[in-house]
Every structure is written in C-alpha cells, then in structure tokens.
Amino acid sequence: MKKLIAILFAIFFISSFLLTTALAEDEQSAVCAVYFTGVGCPHCAKTDPIVLVDLLKKYPDLVIIEYEIYQQQMNAPLLYQYDSEYNSGLGIPLIIFNKNEYLIGDIPILKNAEGIINGLNHNDCPLIDGSSIDFNNLDITSLQGQPKIWGNERILLKISDSGGDNKVLKELLTTNNISSVIEEINYNIIDPKSVPLSGQNIDFDNAIQLDGWVFQWNGEKINAGSEKNTGFVSADIFSPQGLAKEKPALAKIISLAVVDAINPCALAVLALMLIAILTYNPKQKRNILLAGFAFVCAVFIMYLFYGLVIIKSFQLVQALTSIKLWLYKILGFAAIALGVLNIKDAVRYKAGGFLTEMPLSIRPKVKKIISGITSPKGAFTIGLFVTVFLLPCTIGPYVIAGGILSALELIKIMPFLLLYNLIFVLPMIVITLAIYVGFARVEDVSGWKDKNIRYLHLITGLIMFALGLAMVLGWV
C-alpha cells in the first residue's frame, strides 16, 4: 500500500510539473522584436512588407513593436537609446530580437530574419533600457514614443499618452474572440485608417478607439449598436493631432519666403531687366507689363524646379539615418548663420556679401545678359537662365525650407512649394504693376533698394535668426 501511495504521489507531482511547464511554455510562446523603419526609406520599402505583413501571417505568435522615425519624429531619439544598450547601429531598417541577435539593413533582414524566428521558441521583448520582458508581462502603455504593435494580423496604435488598460490591449491583439474582450469596456467604433509602410499602405476592415490607443483588425465585426462611447472625439490617427504630430510647417515656410522675397539681389535683377526694356523701346509701356510678367513666370517656374531638386536631395539623405535624425536642428543652425551674416551686412555693409548678395564677380555678366532683352519673349528666356546667377544670394532660405518640407509626401509638399514661390515673386509683380501704371519709375525702385539695403538685410537677419533659434530650441 505504501508503495502504491508513493507511486500515485510521484505520478501526481510529475503530472503537475509537466502541466506547469506546458502552461509556462504556452504563456511564453510569443516571439517579440523591435523594428525601426521610416516611411520614404527605399531600403525599408523592401523589408516592411516582409516584416510587418508576410512574417506576421506565417507566425501567429510573432509580435513586432514598430517605431517609424521619419513621420513620427518623436521616435527618432529611441533609435539612439537602443543603440547605446544593444550596439545595434543607427541605420534603418533595423530589427532587434535581443542583445546578441539584431539585423540592420534590407539584405541581412531579408536573408536572416525568418531563420532567427524559426530558431526561437519564444523571445522576450527587448526594452529601451537594455532589459527584456516576456510579452505577457509587458506593460505596453508604458512604452515610450509612438509605437505601433503588430501581432496576429492586427495592430495597436498609440495616439496619445492618455493611458489605457494594458490587459485589455494585449488581449485584443491575441484573443480569438474580440467581441468577448470589448463587451465590458468603453470604446468608440471609428473608420479604419490605412497604416503607411514605406512604399505601400496596409488596410484594415475594422477599428475602435479606446483611451489613447486605436485597435484595427480584419474579419470579425463589432455591432455598431454595441458601441460604448468613451466621451472623446475620434481623431484622424495620422493627422498632426494623432500619430503624426509633425511640427507646423506653414509659419516657417511663409517666414522663409518673405525673407527670400525682400532679397536685394532679386529686386536688382528685376530692375535691370525693366531698364533694358525701357531703354530699347521707352514708349511701349505695354512691353513693361508683358516683359515683367514673363520674367516673373520664368523665375517662378525655375525656382519651383530648384525646390523639387532640393527636396529630393534631402530625401536621399534619409538613407543616412544619423544625419536625418539631426536634420531639423542642422537646418536651424543654418538659419541662425544666415541671420548673423545678414545682420553683419546691416551693421557693416559691403556689396556682394557671402550668401546674402550676388557676388561682385558675376554682376557684370548678368548685366550684359539682361541688357540684350528686347521683348517679353526675350525676358522669359533670360529669366529662365538668369535664375542660376540668383541662386548664390537666394538659395539659403530656400534650402532650409526644402529641408523642412522633405519630411512630407509630394502631394503635401506642392501646396507649400507653390505658396513659397508665389510669395517670393510677389514683390516683382507689385513693382512691375507699379511701373506700368505710373506709380513709380524703375530708377525710383532701384534707388529705394540702394537707400534701404541695410534695413532689408536687418529685417532678413532678424527673421532668420529668430526662426533658426526657435527651430534649434524646439519652440516651432
């Protein structure tokens, strides 16, 4: 009997141990990784669909914590902090499993990510402080920045710091019955939003908003009548009020355009062109109007082209992530430098100042070219060509504006770019009309410019310095 009891106890303890082990393994079955990417990064365009779509479909227990750093700039510092703990590097795309296993670059990820996942029974989530924790024990509401958490072909998006129920959020990501999880909580049913990847968007069928999070999924729908309103208004999760809290660009672009518009260099070139037209045919005032507008149109077209080139150049820099992360502050310091140069010209003026006026060496060439204008058609042609000589004294503010706009998509860039160039040529339009209707003479415009050139430089310098300082200190 004693032997029988001993055998039964042994069987009981062994069974309990095996059951506990099985349950523990089941609880720790999630393979968790952190993924850094950037919408617009050409290398990320190759890995995003694999990491965030294909692998998640193939491995239901895979959880990816994504940090996008180009549109959500608040995520960019996290890349530095992870590098300091994991020595993972500052390039993207980057996927981190633990301190010994991480992949940086599109080719390593495409070749090796799936192999690493296959070799892991489970993997704790690597945290920003160098520690790691099983996903079941992770408090996702404490994650820094604006993460997107992917799992089971679903996504959680952090849209604010207003908290959330950690247990509920994780259950939404892992449960087989979404309705059973949300029946006891408050939420708002909202329209699902496309989630941008580099090179494509991912669409979902359903979405709800609860506290500071949005949950999106496909398949099982929630009855609209079951909605439990939380009292907050649903926002566009990728608007400046949602995930993409981009710093407002309009005020900065207008300020830079105004600075460029009052540049003495551009006004001087316009005056030379109008003088050339008047000298050739002083009685044909209509030619003043047509030639002036033709010249302005040429400048507008060419500067629009230059702007697109500048922006594209900045977007190519996105491949160099360490530069990209500091780009906004670099542009701020550049604005401060241009402000100081213009203030210097206001205090101690010298014609042909570096980056503030057209160099003296090329002025005779420009004057000779413009003196050959005899018609509106000629004004347009020369206008296309002479913008090259305008660049040394007008390019500074335009480069800064291009750097700011480079973080946006082309469809969002164009309205800003059109507005910038409209402001830039506005003084030229006003001067042309004033001379045509007889309010002023070309000599008056040229004389006013020469008389007030110090004040023009002072205004330009103060605006540029203030804008640059605000950008560096994070005020705008």
Nearest-5° Cα angle at 305, 303 to 308: 110
The whole-number pLDDT of residue 281 equals 62
Q: Which two tokens stand for residue 121?
A: 């029974």
DSSP secondary structure letter of residue 352: T
Pair 147, 263 in one domain: no
pLDDT, position 271: 78
Q: 122-126, 296-300, 312-316, 347-351: which has the minimum mean pLDDT?
A: 312-316
Q: What pLDDT does residue 21 have?
A: 47
Domain assignment present for 381: yes
Residue 27: per-residue pLDDT: 46
380-396 per-position pLDDT tens digit = 888 888 888 777 778 88
Measured between its terminal Cα atoms, the distance across the chain in Å is: 83
**256 and 205 assigned to the same domain:** no
> Does the pLDDT value for residue 7 go beyond 60?
no
Cα distance between residue 95 and residue 66, in whole Å: 9
> Are 73 and 181 within one domain?
yes
Of 127-141, 266-280, 407-421, where does mean pLDDT reach its minimum? 266-280
> What one-letter code names the amino acid at 130?
G
Number of structural domains the chain divides into: 2
CA distance 343 to 337: 10
CB atoms within 10 A of CB 431: 23
Sorting pLDDT into bands at 50, 70 and 90, what band is 129? Answer: very high
The shares of helix, strand and coil residues in the chain, as percent rounded to the nearest 5, are 60, 10, 30
What's 181's domain CATH number? Answer: 3.40.30.10
Q: Which residue type, as a one-letter code, is found at position 100?
A: N
Task: Tell whether 192 and 309 lie within a shared domain.
Answer: no
Q: Is residue 237 part of a domain?
A: no
Mean pLDDT of 141-160: 92
Q: Amino acid identity, residue 73? A: Q
Is residue 232 assigned to a domain? no
Dihedral (C-alpha) 198, 200, 206, 209: value to the nearest 10 degrees?
30
- C-alpha R_g of the chain: 31
Q: How far apart are CA 218 and CA 221, in angstroms?
A: 8
Tokens encoding 374: 């005899």
Mean pLDDT of 248-268: 82
Residue 352 and residue 454 share a domain:
yes
Beta bridge partners of 94: 36, 104
Residue 235 pLDDT exceeds 50: no
Confidence band for 23, pLDDT divided at 50, 70 and 90: very low
**According to the model, what pLDDT value does residue 245 have?**
39
Quick one: 215 and 356 in the same domain?
A: no
Residue 428 above 50 pLDDT? yes
Does the pLDDT at position 338 exceed 50?
A: yes
Domain limits for position 289: 250-473
Same domain, 151 and 293: no
| Residue 5 confidence (pLDDT) | 56
pLDDT of amino acid 242: 38
- Quick check: 6 and 99 in contact, CB under 8 A? no
Q: Which amino acid does the sequence have at 228? A: K
Instruction: Kindly state whether residues 122 and 270 are assigned to the same domain.
Output: no
Q: Would you state the pLDDT for residue 233? A: 44
Q: Select, from the ranges 17-31, 250-264, 379-393, 412-426, the one with the highest average predicted confidence (pLDDT).
A: 412-426
Whether 279 maps to a domain, the answer reads: yes
Per-residue confidence (pLDDT) for residue 162, from 0 to 100: 75
**Residue 144, in any domain of the structure:** yes
Mean pLDDT of the chain: 82
Quick check: 358 pLDDT over 70? Answer: yes
The answer to whether residue 363 scores a pLDDT higher than 90 is no
Give me the pLDDT at residue 22, please. Answer: 43
Percent of the chain with pLDDT over 70: 83
pLDDT of residue 325: 58
375 in a structural domain: yes
- Asked whether residue 245 is domain-assigned, the answer is no
Is residue 404 within 8 Å of residue 253, measured between CB atoms?
yes
Residue 83 in any domain: the answer is: yes
162 or 280, which is more confident? 162
pLDDT above 60 for 231 = no
Same domain, 221 and 264: no
255/402 same-domain check = yes
Structure confidence at residue 13 (pLDDT) = 56
Supply the pLDDT for residue 204.
94
Give residue 407's pLDDT band: very low, low, confident or very high (50, 70, 90): confident
- Please tell me whether residues 218 and 259 are part of one structural domain: no
pLDDT in tens, 166-225: 999 999 998 888 888 888 788 888 989 889 998 788 999 999 998 889 999 998 777 655
